[in-house]
Amino acid sequence: MESGDVQRRVLERTSSGGVCVNATVLHVAVPTLPFDGVGAGGMGAYHGKTGFETFSHRKCVLTRPTRRDPKLAYPPYAKVKERLIRRFL
């Protein structure tokens, strides 16, 4: 399929996890390209960095000291408190 117009139309009108134009499963051989199916056939993108991110679980961790929060951090917010908070943000 040499026509760029035909290629574009096929890509726009089909759903897939990856596409090879004029090749068969060649994208699997390129470790930096993510590879996956869609719908029930998909199992999560894998290969290279994408695979690592797909099969890893990111965890957010927030730590803070045990000392009490300043009263300034909580309502009621009078105009003075509001101005101070805005100055720090």
Predicted confidence (pLDDT) per residue in 42-53, tens digit:
666 666 777 777
Q: Domain extents for the chain?
A: 4-54
Range name among 17-31, 37-51, 59-73 with the lowest pLDDT average: 37-51
Intra-chain end-to-end CA distance of the chain, in Å: 56
Instruction: Answer yes or no: are the C-beta atoms of 35 and 18 closer than 8 Å.
Output: yes
pLDDT confidence bin for 41, thresholds 50/70/90: low
